[in-house]
Amino acid sequence: MKILVTGGAGFIGSNIVDRYLADGHEVAIIDDLSTGRRSNLNPDASFHELSITDAEAVLAVFEQEMPEVVSHHAAQMDVRRSVAEPQFDAETNIIGTLSVLEAGRRVEARKFIFSSSGGAVYGDGVPLPTPEDACPEPLSHYGASKFAGEVYFRLYGRLYDVRYTILRYANVYGPRQNPHGEAGVNAIFANLMLRGERPTIFGTGDKTRDYVYVGDVVEANVLALERGDGETLNIGTGVQTTDQEVYDAVAAAVGFGEPPIYGEERAGDIRRSCVDPSRAKEVLGWEPTVDFHDGVRITVEYQRESEVG
């Protein structure tokens, strides 16, 4: 089938593009390369360099490519930047999402897959592991804008009979994760340690996250092509991992013996985050397969080969 992936030069999106192509689908990519990398682009996919906030340009690409499925992964994903620049965050994650939704509706795409955030949408004070029916209480503009995107997908489903699956990702990690941005603590720690530098843990190291390997996320996106219509599904492991445990796992994989630097906690950071993936298993037949320590070793080797030397 013909699939259009927004954000297809990014960490998660490019891995999804590769798998869709390997499975025999035809793929087009929209990415403005603001955070995505040209080196991540698969040469077998058609590429359109533009921002999803440019509604006319997005529609023109959709009318040219005529996708059957739209995988919407383009986003402003920096929590810190969302707090500092809420309007920019909303323009990308809300207005941009509407541009993609409208273009897909105009060309009668048969389905959308929307990447949301299992950590940022829920906030603190929810049961752990968190089920999909927990009341969202975002602590950042990023979480609020991602949840707003979900609301629009549900609205389009009701008003226009648009088919969609919303995937709420836990903290995704693995090869191609950017070690120079705000997100992606595994890649950030690995890159610094490989350079002999001590990474910083913000807080005492007891904050928790649910880490899901990018290959498992890709598999969820494959299954969602034909399953999960009208569903909002957590894609995670159901396991809490502390910042200190991440540090220790990366240090072991690198062979780094220095302790971390402990800094002040940051505004907008969630204390504890862990999603319940049981609904995804029931609906998609999906469950995580990659052990965290194995995934960390793969991530470290990728960083070793691509960033050092």
Whether 10 shows a pLDDT value over 80: the answer reads yes
- Number of CB atoms found within 10 A of residue 172's CB: 25
- Indicate left, alpha or beta for 158 from its phi (over 0: left) and psi (-120 to 50: alpha): alpha
Whether 182 shows a pLDDT value over 90: the answer reads no
* CA quadruple 73, 79, 80, 85: dihedral sign: positive
The pLDDT value recorded for residue 183 is 66
Classify each residue of 196-208 as buried b or exposed e, where b means 16 or more C-beta atoms within 10 Å of its C-beta: eeebebbbeeebb
What count of Cα atoms within 13 Å lies in the side-chain half-sphere of residue 93?
Answer: 28
**Does 20 participate in catalysis according to the annotation?**
no
The pLDDT value recorded for residue 308 is 44
- Of 142, 152, 213, 247, catalytic: 142
* Res. 181 pLDDT band, cuts 50 70 90: low
* Res. 309 pLDDT band, cuts 50 70 90: very low
pTM assigned to the model: 0.96
Domains present along the chain, CATH in parentheses: 2-171+213-235 (3.40.50.720), 175-209+239-274+290-307 (3.90.25.10)
Tens-place pLDDT, residues 201-248:
999 999 999 999 999 999 999 999 999 999 999 999 999 999 999 999
* Section 146-165 average pLDDT: 98
Alpha-carbon distances of 64 from 3, 30, 60, 67, 137, rounded to whole Å: 13, 12, 6, 9, 39
